[in-house]
Amino acid sequence: MWKANEKREPVIFAFLICLLILMIGLSLTFGRYGIPLDKIMEVFGQKLAGNISEENRQADSVLFVIRIPRILLAVMAGAALSASGAAYQGMFRNPMVSPDILGVSSGAAVGAALGLLLDLPSMAVHLLSFLFGVAAVLLVMFLAKVIGRGNGTLVIMVLSGTVISSVFSSMTSLIKYVADTDEKLPEITFWLMGSFARASSYSNMVMMGIGLLAGGGVLLLLRWKINGMAFGEDEARALGINTVRVRTAVILSSTLLTAMTVCICGTIGWVGLIIPHITRLLVGPNYKSLMPISMLGGACFMLLVDNAARTIVPGELPISILTSLIGAPLFIYMLFKGRRDWL
């Protein structure tokens, strides 16, 4: 089956790259301030020449201050969440696993809500959110190690993640309960629904890029070992894979990707769950191609959702609303299809 899929993998890979480039170009034209494609090319030409005309100054500001960092941030966030979800689904051998299975999103939400409640600077809110997300996963790993004692570690890790997620979700609710209803509560609520509007800056784009290079790079290097882990730990050990090291590396890398995305862009659901499923149906379960194609698919999907979020209504819809409206029905359809090609 893998050999049959290998014939179409280069075609799908090339198609997604071309689709992503096309979508990035079209995304530059979308927004409350519409910019025709020919004018975009004119602005880029003047930018390279170092001579922006007076009539193009507004378009120049919109493109290079707002849209370009936002578009690139959406692309990297989609790739990060999809890579994290694909890695977890292989390691836990469960197609229902998503990037927040170990509580990173719930922990990051508490950190961000606390930072907003205390009226901290934006960078401090991002840092606090990231630290809380990482702390939640480290707590889950500690509980799994103490309780599991080497037996059923993955199962106990998932159960511990469920408990920790519930605890941190309760803490977020408590912060919202004590927050000022006129200012802080709407701010916290809007952040929890996810958005690229407030995060579109070059500093956030650089931070997201560093996180994607670090976490995504490790997962790409571990692709063949994740293949072994997907068959079970006994089979992986028989292949000479150090399961403890690989599991730790996958968890830390996926946590970095998810925590970085959540602390910058807010909570965005369904991307890391549904995109690996779709790409698995296209190229099969071999992580040699599944991982990079999932990242490309996640980037395209997130860009599509972001374009819809800023065009279908006069204002802007939170990202998580659209990802849920699209992801949930699609996932139900896939469950009805009863596909089991991922194993």
- What are the pLDDT digits (tens) for 273-287? 899 988 888 888 889
Sign of torsion over alpha carbons 206, 26, 315, 188: negative
Within 8 A by CB and 6+ apart from 32, the residues are 310, 314
- For domain 76-337, the CATH architecture is Orthogonal Bundle (1.10)
**pLDDT of amino acid 337:** 66
The predicted pLDDT at position 3 comes to: 52
Radius of gyration of the chain (CA): 21
Q: State the Cα–Cα distance between residues 245 and 250, nearest whole angstrom.
A: 9
Nearest to 276 by CA among 88, 103, 12: 88
Instruction: Find tokens 């079970």 and name the residue.
Output: 232
Which residues of the chain register pLDDT less than 50?
1-2, 340-343
pTM above 0.95, yes or no: no
Burial of 19 (0-12, 13-18, 19+ CB in 10 A): middle
Give the pLDDT score at 212: 95
Instruction: Output the pLDDT for position 1.
Output: 47
pLDDT for 343: 43
